[in-house]
Amino acid sequence: MSFASLGLSEPILDALADQEYQSPSPIQSEAIPAVLAGRDLMAAAQTGTGKTAAFTLPILERLSSGERAQANQARVLVLTPTRELAAQVGENISTYGRYLVLRSTVVYGGVKINPQMMALRRGVDLLVATPGRLLDLYNQNAVKFKQLEVLVLDEADRMLDLGFIDDIRKIISLLPKQRQNLMFSATFSDEVRTLAKTIVNNPVEISVTPRNTTAKTVKQWLCPVDKKRKPDLLTHLIKTEQWGQVLVFTKTKQGADRLTRHLSNKGIKTAAIHGNKSQAVRTNTLADFKAGTIQILVATDIAARGLDIDQLPQVVNFDLPHVAQDYIHRIGRTGRAGLSGEAVSLVSADEFDDLSKIESLIKHELKREYVGGYEPVHELPQSRLDLRPKKPKKPKKPKKPKIEHKDGQRVGKQKQEKVITSKKPIKRRRRT
């Protein structure tokens, strides 16, 4: 199958050819015709499977004809949970729409709002936004939705994880009822499906991967190590294994900064991105990492989704995430678009519970490899993964109904009272 067979026009096909994209991924081959047909869509696909292009390409095709956006209006709204993901979607739109006469812009918090207001003043065909900044712009009359044709909710599960549900409901209440709705997500939990009922109408459902699975192109293993020796072990692996570009995940912002200082002191070019960094710093740091001027990028889970880095070979979980689902999103940064990748987790004994949750979620044990000289004093317990099918619970026996007399007294088997009778002893007369 080719992109041309999906009904895309020459300007978009030319842009895809510039990127040397030959054939659509499974999610693209299923989603693009549905979107072009005007259907609502719920699509579940792992990160790295081409999800962004699956909605960007058909939307660009639809927008290439029709009325242009008027002042402060948007024809398509793409909502994303993080600034990084918003920027990535914006880059995709620019790449695939380079030969089309369309206007697009990206708005998110952490940067000045005035330039974003100026960009919206002329009207935009595609608006990519994070929920908070979009509401700020709406409250200042900088954006209106009278012309809105399509709503895209990207990474819907992450939206709920980050507590955006109230903002999303507020935004939806502002939009025209007659519109096309597209929901894309790594997984569709019960909570996401509940939200979907208020958004999509008779949707086409697409799922190209089993729920809660990791990409087969990613080699996964863990290295047991004491917590205090993790920085030295990571330094050892980077140097001895000659790792080039590495994305390292930590639990906390403080931990990311400490590890960055440690690696930098060892002569390794390292930088960190997390919530305490300004948006400008985060954007520049990510650009330097993509360009190769930074070897190691240390990040908190703010970067677990939305980072689009071509041919990233290595992901390291310096700390395991508390939420098992985040493990899948983290290692999804490598092994993208069919390329191979490697995900290494440095695990200490006190993280065993987190490890158990992850292995239960992905339904297999992570292979353990010890590194000489870094064997832990506090041994990591053996896996307790149990893949036996759960036995169905036996139905409870119904209780026997109580039968009552008309006067309200219970009828049934009555306990018979045991009557004990006793005889008085016979007094014998004494012979004299």
pLDDT computed for residue 311 by the predictor:
72
Burial (0-12, 13-18, 19+ Cβ within 10 Å), 395: exposed
Backbone phi, then psi, for 27, in 5-degree steps? -65, -35
326: pLDDT strictly greater than 90: no
84: pLDDT strictly greater than 70: yes
Mean confidence (pLDDT) of the chain: 85
pLDDT computed for residue 384 by the predictor:
77
The residues with which 78 forms a beta bridge, in sequence order, are: 128, 152
Q: Which residue has the higher pLDDT, 281 or 239?
A: 239
pLDDT computed for residue 183 by the predictor:
92
Residues 403 and 1: their CA atoms lie apart, in Å, by: 71
414: pLDDT strictly greater than 50: no
pLDDT computed for residue 415 by the predictor:
46
Q: Which residue has the higher pLDDT, 431 or 285?
A: 285
Q: How many CA atoms lie within 13 A of 390 on its CB side?
A: 3
51: helix, strand or coil: helix
Residues 249 and 272: their CA atoms lie apart, in Å, by: 10
420: pLDDT strictly greater than 80: no
pLDDT computed for residue 15 by the predictor:
94
- Segment 196-218 mean pLDDT: 76
Burial (0-12, 13-18, 19+ Cβ within 10 Å), 135: middle
Q: Each residue of 292-324: pLDDT tens digit?
A: 899 999 998 865 555 667 678 899 999 999 888
Q: Each residue of 342-373: pLDDT tens digit?
A: 999 999 999 999 999 999 888 889 999 999 99
Q: Which of 187-196, 312-321, 366-375, 417-426 has the lowest mean pLDDT?
A: 417-426
pLDDT computed for residue 51 by the predictor:
86
Cβ-Cβ contacts under 8 Å for 300 (sequence gap 6 or more): 249, 250, 251, 252, 253, 256, 273, 274, 275
Backbone phi, then psi, for 76, in 5-degree steps? -130, 135
The tokens describing 132, both together, are 């908070």
Confidence label for 73 from pLDDT (cuts 50, 70 and 90): very high
pLDDT computed for residue 310 by the predictor:
66
Q: What is the 3-state secondary structure (H, E, C) of 322-341?
A: CCHHHHHHHHCCCCHHHCCE
- Segment 32-41 mean pLDDT: 94
pLDDT computed for residue 198 by the predictor:
86
Q: Each residue of 247-284: pLDDT tens digit?
A: 999 999 999 999 999 999 999 999 998 878 887 888 88
Burial (0-12, 13-18, 19+ Cβ within 10 Å), 368: middle
Confidence label for 394 from pLDDT (cuts 50, 70 and 90): low
The residues with which 218 forms a beta bridge, in sequence order, are: 341
Q: Which domains does the chain have, with CATH numbers?
A: 4-207 (3.40.50.300), 218-368 (3.40.50.300)
Residue 396 neighbours by CB distance under 10 Å:
6
* Sign, Cα dihedral of 243, 246, 252, 258: positive
Residues 254 and 231: their CA atoms lie apart, in Å, by: 14
Q: How many CA atoms lie within 13 A of 26 on its CB side?
A: 12
Q: Which of 164-173, 212-221, 373-382, 385-394 has the lowest mean pLDDT?
A: 385-394
- Segment 184-193 mean pLDDT: 80
287: pLDDT strictly greater than 80: yes
Q: Each residue of 145-167: pLDDT tens digit?
A: 999 999 999 988 888 877 888 99
- Segment 204-211 mean pLDDT: 73
pLDDT computed for residue 234 by the predictor:
97
- Segment 221-225 mean pLDDT: 95
Residues 124 and 137: their CA atoms lie apart, in Å, by: 14
- Segment 33-43 mean pLDDT: 93
pLDDT computed for residue 417 by the predictor:
46
Closest CA to 159 of 126, 179, 187: 187
387: pLDDT strictly greater than 50: yes
Residue 415 neighbours by CB distance under 10 Å:
6
416: pLDDT strictly greater than 50: no
pLDDT computed for residue 376 by the predictor:
95
The tokens describing 246, both together, are 């590495």
CA distances (Å), origin 79, targets 26, 402, 413: 23, 59, 68
Confidence label for 419 from pLDDT (cuts 50, 70 and 90): very low
Q: What is the 8-class DSSP label of residue 162?
A: T
